[in-house]
Amino acid sequence: MSLVGVVGAGVMGSGVAQTFAQAGHQIVLIDNDPDALAKALNAIELNARMSRMMGGPAVDHEQVLSLITTGTDLSLLAEAHIVIENVTENWETKKAVWLELEATCKAETIFVANTSAIPITKLASLTKRPAQVAGVHFMNPVPMKPAAELIKGYHTTPETIETVRELLTSAGKRGIDVNDASGFVSNRVLMLTVNEAAYLVYEGVASAETVDDVFRSCFGHPMGPLETADLIGVDTILYSVEVLYEHFADSKYRPCPLLKQMTDAGLHGRKSGKGFYTY
């Protein structure tokens, strides 16, 4: 059993905390917003209770919650073996967190970035331990997904990758090895798809329902791209596309203005109750 720090108690962070608590690891879940921590614990309890109903294993929700400690102070992670960072896809926000983690955690601690698009090597440059930094791009909902991208930064050692792989394996997840690049594999493709789908709505070519119907009915996808955007978070989609645009300086990653307007309006998808659809 490892002591796993999880930074960020949003949709992804709470899913990561639940996943590794279910695997028997002691979890310290950190967020600067106490309300977010309370919501995360409620979500974890609900998801654990419903796990079997949703096609997952039977989960003892009381046991899971007993393994999760919450707090607002990163100093609680001083003795963590591995820290998984899940804060919003904003470089300045991530930078502040990583610098504080570097100053707080013991020298042996491995840092894992759960990021949609920011290169792992760029995040590792904020630390004095780049060899102990790896990326894991989890998919939502985290407890239900059997695999995740496992990303090696420029300096990441094989030993670090194997330690992180073992952590994933302990939770029943397969790490798919991917080299470091903005967006990795999944979001290099997915974010372009969602962004173009948003443009179709923005330009009046089709409604969100019609766009998703084409992907479900013609391609057999279980979810359309705009349903997926609502699940991930419209704001997260926008920030990820902006990172790709900044990194590659390629106009094909231009963010759709509709994504910007929806983000500004608080239409972030399922987590806010309304996005391309109403929940």
Q: Which of 85, 89, 149, 242 is catalytic?
A: 149
Residue 87 has φ and ψ, to the nearest 5°, of -75, 170
* 251 classed as catalytic: no
Tens digit of pLDDT for each residue in 166-180?
999 999 999 999 999
Cα torsion 71, 81, 133, 30 to 10°: value is -10
All domains in the chain, ordered by first residue:
3-179 (3.40.50.720), 186-270 (1.10.1040.10)
Entry pTM: 0.91
Task: Write down the pLDDT at residue 54.
Answer: 80
Q: Is residue 1's pLDDT more than 80?
A: no
Angle at CA of residue 153, ends 150 and 158, nearest 5°: 70
Q: Which of 4, 15, 278, 13 is nearest to 145 (CA)?
A: 15
Q: Which of 86, 116, 182, 240 is catalytic?
A: 116
Residue 76 has φ and ψ, to the nearest 5°, of -65, -10
Q: Which of 47, 114, 187, 240 is catalytic?
A: 187
Residues facing residue 4 across a β-bridge: 27, 82
Task: Write down the pLDDT at residue 72.
Answer: 98
Tens digit of pLDDT for each residue in 34-46?
999 999 999 999 9
* 149 classed as catalytic: yes
* 2 classed as catalytic: no
User: Average model confidence (pLDDT) for the chain?
Assistant: 96
* 116 classed as catalytic: yes
Task: Write down the pLDDT at residue 52.
Answer: 84
Task: Write down the pLDDT at residue 168.
Answer: 98
Task: List the strands of the sheet with 68-71, edge to edge.
Answer: 68-71, 26-30, 3-7, 82-85, 110-113, 133-137, 147-152, 174-179
pLDDT tier, 53 (very low <50, low <70, confident <90, very high otherwise) = confident
Tens digit of pLDDT for each residue in 232-266?
999 999 999 999 999 999 999 999 999 999 999 99
